[in-house]
Every structure is written in C-alpha cells, then in structure tokens.
Structure 1
C-alpha cells in the first residue's frame, strides 16, 4: 500500500488512531462482538466499519435505540475496552502510515485525533512504541462533538499552534474525512484492512 499525499507543504500532521496508525479495527470488532453477545445484541461488521470513528458510548446508545435494549452504557463500554486491552498483544502498526509519522517526527508537530478513549489510544500506541512520537493526543472526552463534526481536528490544530488550512489529516473513515474537510484541512485516505492486504 502506497499513500499518495496531496500537494503541500503542510506544517502539521493529524493522525486518526484506530484503522489509521494501528491495525486495531479487527481487534475492536472482536471485543465488540464478544461483549455485545452477552446482551443478545447484534452488531454486523459492515455497520461497525460504517460507524468507525464514533465514540464507544455513542455506539452503545445507538445500538440500544436500534434494538430496543437498555444496555448500561458505561458498564458495556468498560467491558468492551477491557476485552480490547486483552487483545493488544495481537496489535500491529500500519507500516505505510507510521513511515509518515517517523518522517515528520522532529520536523513538524504531529498529533493523534481519535474518537476512542484516551486509555484505549495510549494503550494501542504504547503497545507499539509510538506514544512518544506525538506532541499531543485529542481523544473522546476532550471535545463535545464527535466526527464528522470538525471540532476534534480544530482542537488538534489549535493545540499544535498551526492554522487548520496548513494541517494534513490521515484518516480511514468517511466520518473522519468529512470532519477534516469541514475543518478546512487536506486529508489522505488510509484504505480499510481488506484493501490493504494482498
């Protein structure tokens, strides 16, 4: 997989985490499936990927609405995150994206802007030895409106001290690309797992 970057120059890079820096989406789906099975709640894989970038609490609330369930949002979210943590030894990086992190490190400011919790992001990046590469992390709970709203990316740019129009976003989801566009930022699309693998 080769990522084609839009014409620059860019003064900062903003990276989504799950499915962009780390090949975590299959592991997250396993954690979701095992957790939701206890509640008799179906979560088809295509819907999981369509909802990529949504915070955990938002996903559980939406599934409750969709299935007429009353799953306790905080408890189910905690169990799901614990299950994901148990799968971390299987986590791998997305090498072509990490190459851009390494190229930018020390040259321009770089941040992670994620819909996942800070605990999940730091666990994923820490497991792969990438946590120290980033100047700042923007995670669920740091902003009020999730992607596709631009708030998270605009916060990331502000924390890095770089105007939005001079930032390049790396993203794997439609919602993330829409959020970057709404923030006035250029973006590069990271293909999903089934397109990256031969």
Structure 2
C-alpha cells in the first residue's frame, strides 16, 4: 500500500545538521559527560538513545533550532523539520478530521483527493466530521501521518518520540509502512527494538549524562 511519502523529492547525502563539541548547561552543570560531535546527513535513519534525564529532549530542541548549546558550535542547513511527540500535539483539537487534513493541503488537492488519502489511513466518511479531540492515540498518529502525505512539501527531517507507545498492532504496522516510504531523514527515540529494526535504523547517537 502506497501512502504518499514515496514521491518525496529529497536529496540524499546533504549535511542537514552538524555539531562540534557541544554541551548544554543546567544549573551550571553540563548535561553530557562528553561534548557531542556528530553530523546528520539527508536520508539517514538515526536512533537517539539514552536513559531518562540524559538530555534527549534537549538535543532534539538543539537540532530543531529551538535551543542553543552554551559550548561548541552547530551548523543547520535551511530545512523543514517536524517533531512528532507522544500526544501528536501538531493536531488542532478544535478542527474536525477533514478540516485538519485540509490545513496541510499545500498542493491544492481537490476535496475527493483529500478524502481518498484519509481513507488510506482508515478514516472513512463516518470519521471526516469527527473532532480531533475525540480521536484515540492511534487515530491521532494516523491522522498526522496522513496530513504529512497531503502536504506538497514533505519535511526534510521527522523526529519521532516513542512513536509505538500505546499503539496496537494495526496502527504500528501503518506507522511502519508510512515511515518506510518516507525518503527524508528520520530521528527516532524508542525502546522498541523490533520497530527500530523494521524501519531500517542504520546508526545511533547515545547520550551519556554527567552523573
């Protein structure tokens, strides 16, 4: 089943982000035991690993440009990055399912085309007028993925934060299929080893906190 990501025109091999000896300080204490130096190349699939409190969220914010490290330097290419948290907070709970999909319609798709995309993600006509706030976690995940395939400009980077938490088998399979058709860069925080293997993670960044 094709879900829309397979046509993304994203150039592989381009440096999207690089960090040289970066660290972040909370209460005058550096967050990481050793300063971080790494590159993120377009098309890579990266697992971000570390125990609770190891600074995974802080590093994600640095990559997204929402936080600046106190030491070291970073390079950020002009890129579009999407952070998908466990609450799928990119969705607007004031909108219906169809209205939310329409918000991502940057390519002037016709109404019937949007509804076909929704149907691919198991949203039939009985769901189109359902408010987003009434959706389950799995439904919210499916709707957000659907919205990303509707957008005329797929993001260069997708960051997934524990994406399989609280998903049943069907929703996990839909997520896996969509992610495997996405051609851009993927950064995943997950303890689900099977999911990481299924989506082709090819390297990891492991964070070691100071204490």
Asked if Structure 1 and Structure 2 have the same fold, meaning a TM-score greater than 0.5 normalized by the shorter chain, the answer is no
Report the TM-score when normalising by structure 1.
Answer: 0.31
Report the TM-score when normalising by structure 2.
Answer: 0.30
Structure with greater proportional helix content? 1
Structure with greater proportional strand content? 2
Larger Rg, first or second structure (1 or 2): 2
